[in-house]
Each structure stands twice: as C-alpha cells, then as structure tokens.
Chains A and B, each alone.
Chain A
Amino acid sequence: DADVTQTPRNRITKTGKRIMLECSQTKGHDRMYWYRQDPGLGLRLIYYSFDVKDINKGEISDGYSVSRQAQAKFSLSLESAIPNQTALYFCATSDLGSVPYNEQFFGPGTRLTVL
C-alpha cells in the first residue's frame, strides 16, 4: 500500500471552478507539504504544515488555500481556478524527528488541467 496517496490523480476543470486536492499519509509524519511542478521551473512550494495547528505559506501561495484536517490529511484548494494553475501537484511528507537528514516522501501526484 502506498504511504502517501493523492486524490484525484487527474482532473480537468474550467476556469472559475473551486477545486480540492486531497493528500493522505500513513507514515505517521508530522510535516506535510504541497508543491506544484511546471516544465522548466522545478518543484515550487505552495504551503507547508508542521502539525495540525501550524500552516505556513510557501513560495507561491497566492490563489491557493490549505486545510490540515488531521495529522494524516492535508488538502489543497483552488478557490477559483485559472488556466495558469495547470500543473502537476505533489504532496510530500517528512518526519520531524530525523533532522538533519529528514528526506521528503512524495505522493504519486495530481495532474490538474484548467481550461
């Protein structure tokens, strides 16, 4: 079974629609992250959370919001989707306790297309 799961895996939507991407993990990690990946731009951090009560903006948070419903669940919302939010979205987790070499574990990704 996958340790980090994302739903949906693919989504096509229209401009102006509200979209939620969900991430669940069974690794027991405290830290969760949302990234988007665009060709030539690498992985860019949208939001991250170090525990249920902690939410932090990343490099490109405008147009996005998040909710940490539980230690194992972290959702990303696009309140009003626009075409330049078309990208591959990854959820990732890491373990607070293994600094300094606490790697990030990635989910399979959600490919989002906004028409």
Chain B
Amino acid sequence: QKEVEQNSGPLSVPEGAIASLNCTYSDRGSQSFFWYRQYSGKSPELIMFIYSNGDKEDGRFTAQLNKASQYVSLLIRDSQPSDSATYLCAVNTGNQFYFGTGTSLTVIP
C-alpha cells in the first residue's frame, strides 16, 4: 500500500466551477499535510498546508483534513484556466515527506 494515494485523473471542470481533489494516506502518525501545484516541466509550488482537523481557507482554495478517515482534500472555487496543472498531495510523517502521484486538472474555458 502506498503512503499517499490520489486519483490520477485527468479531472476536467468548466471555468467557474468547483474542482475537488482528494487524497488518502496510510500513516496515522502523519503530522502535516500539503497541497502542491505543478505545471508541466516546472517545480512543485506550495498552495496550502493543514495540520488540524477541519477546513482551512485561503482565497479560492480550501483544504479539508479528516484524520479519523485519513483523508485530505482540496477544493478550488471559481476555477480558472490558469489552475490547469497537476496537484500533488504530500504528507509529513515527522522525518519524511511522502508525495502522491498527483491529479491532473484541466479547467475548460
């Protein structure tokens, strides 16, 4: 079983819609959780981090964490074509980061 699992997609949404990205993790001792955005051929850049159960909002982005279900999600409201990228979920277990394989998102104008 992989440490972090994501649906690889591709996920397509129309411009202005809500995009929902999901991630599950296996280590119950995981401490913090991250969402990175990666454009093709570029390095990952941090969008959100969360470490407490519940929701965390930053602009159009909302991260949700449910430690009991070992589940992390990212909601992107009012999706824009510039949001088209691969989104990586990452989990910090204390000593190591584990990344999911990423979900490819396309926002259709």
Contact = CB atoms under 8 A, between A and B. Distances in A.
A100 interface: yes
Contacts of B43: 90, 106-109
Contact of A33 (B44, B97, B102): B97
A45 B92 CA distance: 13
A42 B88 contact: yes
Interface string A40-54: 111111001000000
Interface residues of A, number: 25
A15 interface: no
B92 A100 contact: yes
Contacts, number: 56
Contacts of A33: 97
A84 B32 CA distance: 32
Contact of A100 (B32, B42, B99, B102): B32
12 contacts: A42-B88, A42-B100, A43-B99, A48-B96, A88-B41, A90-B43, A99-B32, A100-B31, A103-B34, A105-B46, A108-B42, A109-B41
Interface of A: 33, 35, 40-45, 48, 58, 88, 90, 94, 99-109, 111
